[in-house]
Every structure is written in structure tokens, then in C-alpha cells.
Amino acid sequence: MRTIIVTAIVGVLLILNSCKKEEEEVDEIIYNPTRYELSYLGLTPPNIPPDNPLTVEGVKLGRMLFYEKMLSGDGSMSCSSCHSQSTGFSDTNRFSIGIMGLPGGRQAMAITNMLWNTNQFFWDGRANLLREQSLLPIQDSLEMHETLPNVIQKLNNSSAYKNQFFRAFGSSEITSANISLALEQFMNSIVSNNSKFDKEERGEATFTASEQRGKDLFYTEYNAFFPATSGADCAHCHSGANFENDQYFNNGLDSDAGMIDDGRMKVTKDVRDRGKFKITSLRNIELTSPYMHDGRFSTLEEVVEHYNSGLVYSTTIDPALEATRNTGLFLTSQDKEDLVNFLKTLTDRSLATDKRYSSPF
């Protein structure tokens, strides 16, 4: 008798199970995260946060959320509205406009190669981890202007999201922590290593004479005593495979009196940090105009000219720049053209169209 009952129950379960299997044959909801294979040929091995390794499921969820307009107060914006793939995940507007129609105070930063970012996030570094950063624009009244409980409630109405959360984290309960981890995974998955510069490094492309001259100027140091051979000295700050050094510097944009934005000082409350901003990566710099924290320059020529002749003294100006301020960088118009041509070799055209990073909807 007992055997019969057990068999019956097992049978029923099997039938039920098989029915269910038939219903959701295409996409089984199981928690079995798969490692996301990150390709970073030519770059140094990344520092993937050990508590949030990249998984195929997590990256997919992050990508859904990145393009999800439900994250904004009126359903009109997603992260991608200001971090647009076609422009190196940045915004061509000087100041991005939020859902209220009001602009923010700084230029949207490009999101590429975040895994090689070794310090904080935002221009002033007020978020320590990318996951902390990811939730702030959602709640900022000048940006997406939505509360996290509202976001969670809206996402909970979607079974697709509930399922994807389960696949990524083993629980269909949507929490702000999981939202931020997923967004972090997706942003960390965006790698740019296929520019002409990278190809040249790999021996797949050759620089033009002008690009090569520009590269030489980029890496040559400034030398006041030998102006004829003095370089543009860019690499001290924009160094390494990611063309940045993850520090905060004042690059001589404004005088003490003319400085509107205190930058890093807003976070550290230290006057020595006034007017200092995070040094940004130069990858895809051609696509990510306008430039500087306030987007004041619209072309690379203007940026180069700023360093060549437009530095303005202030008490916190970077000493290395200050040393060049009186004489300028001695760049001729040809030098400047070459430098810009070199910077354009950092453009990764494939990134702008890479299906892995485009909208999943």
C-alpha cells in the first residue's frame, strides 16, 4: 500500500514536472550561474570584485536594467539615455538633462573599462564602488528622479525581471543591493580594446606618419631647456593601457576666483582638493565630446590648445602643469594636428555597435 502511494505521488510529481517543463521549455528558471568570459586582450588582467564576479545571467540582468526606463520617475529615461553606446557610453550634451528637464552640473562620464578603474567613481569620487555609484543617478532629482522602493515595486510587476533576478542571484526577491550588483556587472563587462591603437600594438594596423608623430609627442616629456624636442607630456596623467592614472588633479581650467565647481573638495572637505577632478580615460575620446567636467570644450583641438597655451593659475593647479604654464608646451599647429590624430586612434568603432552592450529590448 505504502509503495503504491509513494509511486503515485512520484508519478504525479513526474507528470506535474513534465507539464511544467513543457510550459517553459525555452527558458528554464534555475539558479546555475555561468561564468562570463571577459575578453581583454592587450589589457592587464582586471580586478574583478571577488564578491560580485561576472556571470552571464548577472550581466544580462544588468544590461536589462541599464536600458530600463522604469528606473526613472516618469518612465522616460534609462541609464543609456545619458550614457549612450554610440558615443562611447557618454553624452554629447554639455550637461545631461534629467526627467524634470533640468540639466545636471557636470558632464556625463564615459562607461568603458570600468574594471581598470582603481579608485572611486564620479568626477569628484564620491562613490567608492561602482555598485554605490549605480544607484545614485536613479535617485538624483536632476537625473532619473525616482525612489528605490518605487523602482523595486515596478520591477516586481514584471515576471521577466523576477525570473532574471532568480537566475542571477538565486532569489526572485528584488532588492536595491541586487539591482546595484547587476548594474555593476554589466558596466564592468564593457571593455574597449579594439581601437586602432590596440590593433597597432597587436601588429594588426599601422599608424600614419602623423599619428606616429602624435604618439611620440604624447609620450615625450615637456622640457623647458630644449623646446625643440619638448613633448606634450600627456602620459604622466593619461598613462597605462587605459590612459588614466585614477587620481584627482586640477588641470588649470579656472582661477581661484573663477572656480564655480569645487570638485573633489566637496567630498574630502579639504581646500587642497579644490577644483580637482578625476583624470578620465582617453579611450574613445573622439566620441565622448564635450570635454572637461563641465563640458566646456567641444573639440579635441580646444582641449589640446588648453594644455598648450590656456592654463590658468590657481592655488591647487597641478605642479607639473604649473611648470609648463609660463612657456606653454611649445606645440606648433602641426604638432597639435598630429596629437589630435593620435588621440583619434583610441576610438574603438566596434564598441559603438557591439551587440553585447546594446539594448536587449
Residues that bind other proteins (CB under 8 A): 93-95, 97, 100-106, 122-124, 126, 136, 139-142, 224, 226-228, 260-261, 266, 308-309, 326-328, 330, 332
Q: For 143, phi and psi rounded to 5 degrees?
A: -115, -110
CB of 196 to other proteins, least distance (A): 28
CB of 162 to other proteins, least distance (A): 28
CB of 30 or CB of 257, closer to other proteins: 257
> If we measure between CA atoms, which residue out of 337, 316, 335, 207 comes closest to residue 264?
316
CB of 32 or CB of 326, closer to other proteins: 326
Cβ(231)–Cβ(304) below 8 Å: no
CB of 93 or CB of 245, closer to other proteins: 93
> If we measure between CA atoms, which residue out of 203, 204, 51, 81 comes closest to residue 145?
81
Residues recorded for the chain: 361
CB of 223 to other proteins, least distance (A): 10
Count of beta carbons in the 10 Å neighbourhood of residue 275: 27
| Cα(87)–Cα(65) distance, integer angstroms | 19
Strand, helix or coil for residue 84: strand
CB of 221 to other proteins, least distance (A): 15
CB of 160 or CB of 177, closer to other proteins: 177
Q: How many CA within 13 A on the CB side of residue 169?
A: 21
- CA–CA distances in Å: residue 297 to residues 33, 223, 310: 44, 26, 12
CB of 127 or CB of 152, closer to other proteins: 127
CB of 105 to other proteins, least distance (A): 3
Greatest alpha-carbon pair distance for the chain in Å reads 101
CB of 141 to other proteins, least distance (A): 6
Amino acid, single-letter form, for residue 59? V
CB of 126 or CB of 154, closer to other proteins: 126
